[in-house]
Amino acid sequence: MLLRSLVPLLFTLLAAAPFCVADDGYRLWLKYDVVADAALRKEYQRAAQFIVAGGESATLKTAAEELQQGLQGMLGKAVPMVGEEKGRKGGIILRTDAAAAKNAPLGPEGYRVFTDKQNIVITGRTDAAVLYGSFALLRQLQTRQPLTNLALTSTPKIQHRLLNHWDNPNGTVERGYAGSSIWKWYELPEVIDPRYRDYARANASVGINGVVLNNVNASARYLTAEYLQKVAAVAGVLRPYGIRVYLSVFWAAPKTIGGLPTADPLDQKVRQWWTSKTDEIYRAIPDFGGFLVKANSEGEPGPQDYGRHHADGANMLAAALGQHDGLVMWRAFVYKADAKGDRFKAASQEFLPLDGKFAPKVLVQVKNGPIDFQAREPFHPLFGAMPRTPLVLEVQLTQEYLGFATHAVYLAPLIKECLDADTHAKGPASTVARVVDGSVDQHAVSGIAGVANIGADRNWTGHPLGQANWYAYGRLAWDHTLTSQAIAEEWTRQTLTTEPRAVATVAGLMQQTRSIYVRYTTPLGLHHIMGQSIHYGPEPWLAQSDRPDWTSVYYHRADSEGLGFDRTATGSNALKLYQPAVQQLWGNPQTIAPDYLLWFHHVPWSQPLSTGRTLWDELCTRYYTGADSVQWLQQQWASVRPQLDAALHADVAARLQTQHKEALWWRDACVLYFQTWSRRPIPAPFTPPQRTLADVKQLVDLYQLR
Ligand code: BDP
């Protein structure tokens, strides 16, 4: 009797546990905290009394173990693994079944989770599919959904869903803001950090099935026999989770580690070197995914050094892959220093003539926008313009231009804006998403890449809300039709709280973060006006740099007449790279959405906009309301304090304070600087900045002190 009355108390305590023990964020969205609602917990317990792993493969075992771990946490009791169901009811049965695809076009990775004879069956054509289905079931429980009459069916729309690490052999991470690299190259292959496995679990739970381990500004060291052993050790940890490893390659490796006098892709010895190196890689890593290449970009060597073009280089690597099941992802992030040109057009100029010239194993990897991961960019004009080449969409999760790990910016709205943009390549609804998933041009292969935002910080991403960007990227890579709102809610429920009002508040504020960031940094289509080389803070006055296209004045073109880059026929005519329907959408300064205005038009300061204000007044309004909105974020965040872990809540609250301070810095720097051109007053009701332009300039100088 006493014991009975103690049980509910025990659960209450367990449920309250997260409030007592600080949540260090390590568990990400795979928290598996006990279900506090007793009735729901009972329902779950009834539905999950045993697990049948259905096979011996490492991936099936992994799926079953993950279910065990998750259920033990959420149900508060161990769930046994049994050999077979033997007419038992109330269990979870994993079943890899080639025939499972018969009734639904599941493909190799799609899953079905359904109720059959009072058991929950998780099935798919491959073990990896069953693993994804298992995580889908755990997601149901973590978001506290009912388990009755389950019918979950899902197939990934894009085949190759990659994370790109910009990690270096010495443990640094290019543009990384969450500590050093998680890959401990000096310890590998002997020491396997348990963190690699948790990394794999997180990726598999959202469907990421490939990772490029090293920076695109690549070191040749990864291709040495010594490092291939290390890479193989990492691949061994990731393999049961359905994740393949890839490497970024340094183009001149045949010279630096191969001892050849050239890296010319048409040279026979160079070709042989790559072929035997690739064979060596596959001997060490039989399921190696392939190569990612940054060539002839920002000083990296490439085929153009030998008078060859990108396709010569990519096709040479494709030939080296030969019969191996691997791909070449060749990046289109190229631009030459040209003060008179327009960087917007650079990739199109180099790549459009090559459409149709790439070997079947080659995909061209294109950033979401034509410049460089700015807070808002029009979609890259290569999407929809290279019908004979499969294009990988590359987005950046690490917040290089979006406030590092200090500013809260939920990226799903940014990624969705690109995915949903209509290229009009083959009539309406030729969205970037459908170009990338291959459905517009009927490509058999498709890919997407996210530049990772994780590091060795205990909570992986530095900013606790940065975890949502890793999560959202994976979910969108799997299914680009999901909404950013739904993903925000899903993530919040699994990671922060299941209390409905708090979920709505957190997801609601997350949804606003990106547009708020745009308003106080680069409203109305301004871009690339940030601090030189660090890419942090405002520096719109930057006029001198090693290259003209690394200054700010190159992009905003402010003068006494107005502001913005004329990319219409009277200017660079970059707009012409888009289909006529898109040209029409953006070609007229009167009708273009204000968010894109200064990307395409040089607009007089006194020009009235569709908002009813002049350009100058609208610009100021956005800077001021954007900075003020950070206070709104702070209020929203404060309101959910009782429902969240105290330490985590305090961490985000502190970061929001910094964000507010720096939003004011951006605002003051930009309005004061642009005012030197507009010569107009700050409009009512806003109060002019208390500090001078010299004051704010000093702040950036301090950041850049060596
Ligand atoms: C830029 C980064 C640089 C990267 C480059 C790239 O500033 O560090 O190497 O992109 O994508 O945004 O190659």
| Domains annotated on the chain, with CATH | 25-154 (3.30.379.10), 160-484 (3.20.20.80), 519-703 (3.90.1330.10)
Q: Is residue 298 flagged as an active site residue?
A: yes
pLDDT of residue 105: 84
Task: Enter the pTM of the model.
Answer: 0.96
Q: How far is CA 630 from CA 151, 634, 642, 647, in A?
A: 41, 6, 21, 21
pLDDT of residue 104: 64
Sign, CA torsion 672/652/162/264: positive
d(C-alpha 318, C-alpha 249), whole Å: 13
Which distant-in-sequence residues (6+ apart) come within 8 Å of 19 by Cβ? 645, 646
Q: Is residue 65 flagged as an active site residue?
A: no
pLDDT digits (tens, 9 = 90+) for 604-644: 999 999 999 999 999 999 999 999 999 999 999 999 999 99
Our answer on whether the CB atom of 400 is closer than 6 Å to any ligand 1 atom is yes
Measured from the Cβ of residue 310, the count of other Cβ atoms closer than 10 Å reads: 26
Which distant-in-sequence residues (6+ apart) come within 8 Å of 494 by Cβ? 29, 30, 31, 139, 142, 143
Measured from the Cβ of residue 132, the count of other Cβ atoms closer than 10 Å reads: 27
Lookup: tokens for 393: 């969409």
Identify the segments of the chain with pLDDT beneath 50.
Answer: 1-3, 5-20
CA of 532 to the centre of ligand 1 (A): 13
Our answer on whether the CB atom of 367 is closer than 6 Å to any ligand 1 atom is no
**What do you get for the CA distance between the two ends of the chain, in Å?**
70
pLDDT of residue 381: 98
pLDDT of residue 15: 46
Cα angle: 302, vertex 308, 314; to 5 degrees = 60
d(C-alpha 459, C-alpha 448), whole Å: 25
Q: Is 428 exposed, middle or buried (0-12, 13-18, 19+ CB in 10 A)?
A: exposed
- Nearest to residue 407, comparing CAs of 472, 470, 463? 463
Q: Is residue 400 flagged as an active site residue?
A: yes
Q: What's the chain's average pLDDT? A: 95
Residue closest by Cα to atom 13 of ligand 1: 216
d(C-alpha 596, C-alpha 608), whole Å: 16
d(C-alpha 517, C-alpha 376), whole Å: 10
d(C-alpha 562, C-alpha 560), whole Å: 6
- Marked catalytic residue, from 85, 400, 422, 539: 400
d(C-alpha 691, C-alpha 465), whole Å: 32
- Marked catalytic residue, from 84, 116, 298, 338: 298
Q: What are the phi and psi torsion angles at 445 (to 5°)?
A: -125, 145
Determine contact, residues 445/363, Cβ cutoff 8 Å: yes
Indicate which atom in ligand 1 lies nearest the CA of residue 535: 7
pLDDT of residue 103: 60
Q: Which of 293, 298, 404, 535 should be mutated for ligand 1, with most atoms under 8 A from CB?
A: 298
- b (16+ CB within 10 A) / e for 325-358: ebbbbbbbbbbeeeeebbbbbbbbebbeebeebb
Which distant-in-sequence residues (6+ apart) come within 8 Å of 403 by Cβ? 409, 517, 536, 659, 662
Lookup: tokens for 273: 């070197």
Determine contact, residues 10/37, Cβ cutoff 8 Å: no
Quote the distance between the C-alpha of residue 93 and its chain's center. Answer: 33
d(C-alpha 523, C-alpha 595), whole Å: 7
- Nearest to residue 460, comparing CAs of 20, 4, 29, 22? 29
Lookup: tokens for 94: 């994993």
- Marked catalytic residue, from 127, 167, 342, 372: 372
